[in-house]
Amino acid sequence: MTTRQSVGGFALLALLLAPLACIAATGWTGDLTPIGQEDWNAERAAHLLERAGFGGTPEEIAQFAAMTPEAAVRRLVYHKGVANDLPAFDHSGIHDAGLEPFPASRPAATDLARDTGESMGIKVKPAGNRRLQPVANKFFYWLRASRLETNRVAYWWANRMLATNRPLEEKMALFWHGHFATSEEKVRDYRKMLKQNELFRAQGTGNFRDLLIGVAQDPAMLAFLDAGVNVKGAPNENFAREIMEMFSMGVGNYSETDIREAARAFTGWNFVDLDFVVTPEKHDETTKSVLGKQGAFDGVDIIDVILSQPVASEYVSGRLYRYFVRQDLSPALRGELGARLRESNYEIAPLLETIFMSRDFYSPPSMATHIKSPVELVISAYKKMGLTEVPGVPDFNDLTEALGQKLLYPPTVAGWANGKSWITPGLLLARGNFVYDTLFPDINFLPPDRYPLTDYKIGAVNEKLALGMDVTTATKPEAKEVTSMSMQADRDEDFNTRLASFRGWQMALQKVKPIPRATAQLDLSAMVLGAGCKSAREAVDYLLARFVSVPLDAASHERIAKFLESELGTDDLTAAASFLEEPLRTTLHLILSLPEYQLG
């Protein structure tokens, strides 16, 4: 058994390390002709897994290299037939019907309570001090609980990216999340964010028209772009602008008049709780003129008018190309890709198949030149480390946020910028630090979902109340903070906002389940020994081949090999087996701190 495994491992190592000639690839730039079987190899299979997923382990690369390129690409693109038994999101049970519709602001919540005697399912106290306090508490409870739960959704999604048998499904969901960017910051309802995520997963490689309509009628998008105030006689232009500019055509292909007219077509579109609704009396049924066409359009009609513009297919296919291949896209190639998308009636999967099969995709300018986004970097690193679960330490959300990409919180409706903007001096250092924190967990780590101490000095309020201090004293601002609360020096008040903030956190923590806090369960020793490595040099060669897409120069290679040998005190891995893990981890940290590691 051991011998057979070693032989298998060595075969994998040999396969990965064998020099691979890129014959004839130099003429492939811009060529959509499919790659032939004679040009298919492990290096190109690795490239496919890197771009159409989150990278491959040596076993996966070998498996895909053994297929024909057609079979490999179709296995990824037409993934609905691939079994993928992953758990659904495990709700904490934080929501109740009284919360709908959630008030626009705390003043709105308390004003409603004052006016009607009830708000968010909470009745006003008949008598006594702080009669509205339970209402204020509920408001802050939901803000905090929804944020914590959204972080759980992001963590769940990260686990899907890592564990899925359909990597392109998750990669496309990530793409569409950046394309149709909505943020929990404004939506303030994790359920809407989860529902949208599931829409992207279900329809991500389906039909773009269906997806666009789904997004237009999606509660998260409707909430994010202020659909509720888009009514007949007073149209709100947010959604109409974004659907043309960011979602389907790009800048310069419509006029401001088109936007105003289109906004009228989307009037009356709204949501109630998690359901899309059209309010007939708020819908403008009169004639609109959009992109040169006239009619009593509704929102779906507008989508059809937009998609009838050739520029829409070019814009969408260009976005996909830049995401999966490279930034450099000639007008001719963009036109060709757009034409194919139009000819297929906006079916996404055939376009992806074309892209992943194309020689252009395997041309030198396309390979190992993509700067990984933060999420790609983290998930692909975990995958190549052989993890089957996203570690809870370091916290996935804090980590990716520090690197510039917090899932479910895109910075604007334009999503995240790409490529070079991920790399600044500080962010490059942080990328190496993520590896360090994963391989050498921080013993001072505090779970951010259980220690919300950064907000409004809540920790101090917590302690003061626990020691029996009255609310007014316990919530008195420090001298340097001047807020409206300082005007409420007496005990008699309708509510206390700081108290509500504190109670909101307390109630949220009681309800929201914790994110599991396991450290990264990896075993580098077993990995390199299992691959048949005998010497420090072979171990370094293996790690570089496994983790890094860009070949290192000989001098760098030598420095790292010498480092590992020095740490081990020997070049013989067998002799060092009992203490091998830590030197391997420090070596891996060095490797993954290289600038080259950011490329895939």
Partner 1 sequence: MKTTSLLLKPWTRREILRAGLAGIGASAMPLVFSRVMAADPAASNRILVVLEMSGGNDGLNTLVPYADDAYYRHRPKIGIRLEKLRKIDERYGFNGGMAGFERLYKDGRMAIVHGCGYAQPSFSHFTSMAYWHTGAPNSGEEYGWVGRVADAIDTPSTPNFIVNIDEVQSLAVRARDHVPVVFDDPEKFGRKGLYQTRPLLDRAPDMDADASASKHYLLEVAKSAREASQLVRDAWSGYKTPVDYGIVPVQLPKIASLIAAGMPTRLYYTSYRHNAFDTHVQQSDLHQRLLTYVSDAVEGFMKDMERIGRADDVTVLVFSEFGRRVPENTSLGTDHGTANYMYVIGKPVKGGHYGQPPSLTELDEGDNLVFTTDFRRVYASVIDGWLGCRDTEQLLSGKFESFPVFS
Within positions 357 to 396, which residues make up the interface with partner 1, using CB under 8 A?
365, 368-371
Using CB under 8 A as the binding rule, whether residue 93 contacts partner 1 is answered as no
Within positions 191 to 230, which residues make up the interface with partner 1, using CB under 8 A?
226, 229
How far is residue 252's CA from residue 282's CA, in Å, rounded to a whole number?
A: 30
Residue among 238, 248, 313, 354 that touches partner 1 (CB under 8 A): 238
In the complex, the smallest distance separating the C-beta of residue 551 from partner 1, rounded to whole angstroms, is 11
User: Which contiguous run of DSSP H or E holds residue 294?
Assistant: strand 293-295
Question: What is the x/- site pattern for partner 1, positions 430-449, by CB under 8 A?
Answer: x-xx--xx--x---------
Within positions 101 to 140, which residues make up the interface with partner 1, using CB under 8 A?
104-105, 107-108
- Could you tell me which stretch among 268-276, 330-338, 411-419, 499-507 binds partner 1 (CB under 8 A)? 411-419
- 106 in Cβ contact with 136 (< 8 Å): yes
Using CB under 8 A as the binding rule, whether residue 28 contacts partner 1 is answered as no
Q: Measuring CA to CA, how many Å separate 252 from each of 71, 245, 462?
A: 40, 8, 54
Region class of 297: left (phi > 0), else alpha (psi between -120 and 50), else beta: beta
DSSP string, 250-290: -TTSS-HHHHHHHHHHTTTEEEETTEEEE-GGGS--S-EEE
Residue among 273, 401, 571, 581 that touches partner 1 (CB under 8 A): 401
Q: Measuring CA to CA, how many Å separate 147 from each of 298, 374, 416?
A: 34, 21, 20
In the complex, the smallest distance separating the C-beta of residue 508 from partner 1, rounded to whole angstroms, is 22
Q: Are strands 269-272 and 122-123 parallel, antiparallel or unpaired?
A: unpaired
Using CB under 8 A as the binding rule, whether residue 398 contacts partner 1 is answered as no
Q: Measuring CA to CA, how many Å separate 177 from each of 37, 80, 213, 336, 409?
A: 34, 20, 15, 25, 10
- 192 in Cβ contact with 149 (< 8 Å): no
In the complex, the smallest distance separating the C-beta of residue 262 from partner 1, rounded to whole angstroms, is 13
Q: Which distant-in-sequence residues (6+ apart) come within 8 Å of 503 by Cβ? A: 137, 140, 141
How far is residue 472's CA from residue 489's CA, in Å, rounded to a whole number?
A: 7
Using CB under 8 A as the binding rule, whether residue 426 contacts partner 1 is answered as yes
In the complex, the smallest distance separating the C-beta of residue 328 from partner 1, rounded to whole angstroms, is 9
Q: Which is nearer to partner 1, 28 or 64 (CB)?
A: 28
Within positions 464 to 483, which residues make up the interface with partner 1, using CB under 8 A?
480-483
Residue among 424, 510, 570, 574 that touches partner 1 (CB under 8 A): 424
Q: Tokens for 460, please give them.
A: 């101090």
Q: Which is nearer to partner 1, 156 or 180 (CB)?
A: 180
Count the site residues for partner 1 by CB under 8 A: 72
Q: Which is nearer to partner 1, 206 or 228 (CB)?
A: 228
Within positions 162 to 191, which residues make up the interface with partner 1, using CB under 8 A?
185
Q: Which contacts (CB < 8 Å, 24+ apart) does range 277-283 have? A: 279/231, 281/232, 282/231, 282/232, 283/232
Within positions 254 to 273, which residues make up the interface with partner 1, using CB under 8 A?
256, 259-260
Q: Which is nearer to partner 1, 397 or 506 (CB)?
A: 397
How far is residue 317's CA from residue 336's CA, in Å, rounded to a whole number?
A: 9
Q: Which is nearer to partner 1, 201 or 319 (CB)?
A: 319
How far is residue 107's CA from residue 546's CA, in Å, rounded to a whole number?
A: 55
In the complex, the smallest distance separating the C-beta of residue 422 from partner 1, rounded to whole angstroms, is 8
Q: Which is nearer to partner 1, 99 or 413 (CB)?
A: 413
Outline where 344-415 has alpha helix (H): 348-357, 374-384, 396-403
In the complex, the smallest distance separating the C-beta of residue 418 from partner 1, rounded to whole angstroms, is 11
Q: Which is nearer to partner 1, 47 or 166 (CB)?
A: 47
